[in-house]
Amino acid sequence: MADKKENDTISITEIQSRFRRKNCKHKHIIVDEALAEVVCKHCGVKLNPIWVLAMLSREESKLEILKKDTNLLLEKLEKKQRTKCQHCGKFTQVKSS
């Protein structure tokens, strides 16, 4: 009877080590459309295409945030390059070499 209970039990094991090795972050990938495969160029591991899409999406989001932050900093810098004229009271751009 004990054997029957063991056979009825569902066991799920999650394997993530294939995609997240400590020594490789899989930042350089090869996409083979003919074979419908994605392989890490550095370590040669076959990657899950969905994982690769998610990774690329996260990286793109980071770049968008960085772009917005950079644009805000450039706007602040541009505002600091103007000063009020002592003679006419208008704001003029400061010349920098």
Residues 6+ apart with CB under 8 A from 38: 29, 30, 31, 32, 46, 47, 48, 49, 52
For residues 50-59, average pLDDT: 89
pLDDT value of position 21: 53
Confidence of residue 93 (pLDDT cuts 50, 70, 90): confident
Write down the pTM of the prediction: 0.53
Number of domains in the chain: 1
Residue 5 has pLDDT above 60, yes or no: no
- In a domain? residue 51: yes
How does pLDDT run across 6-34, given as a tens digit for each residue?
566 666 555 555 555 567 888 888 998 88
Domain membership of residue 36 as a residue range: 19-60
- In a domain? residue 29: yes
pLDDT, averaged across the chain: 79
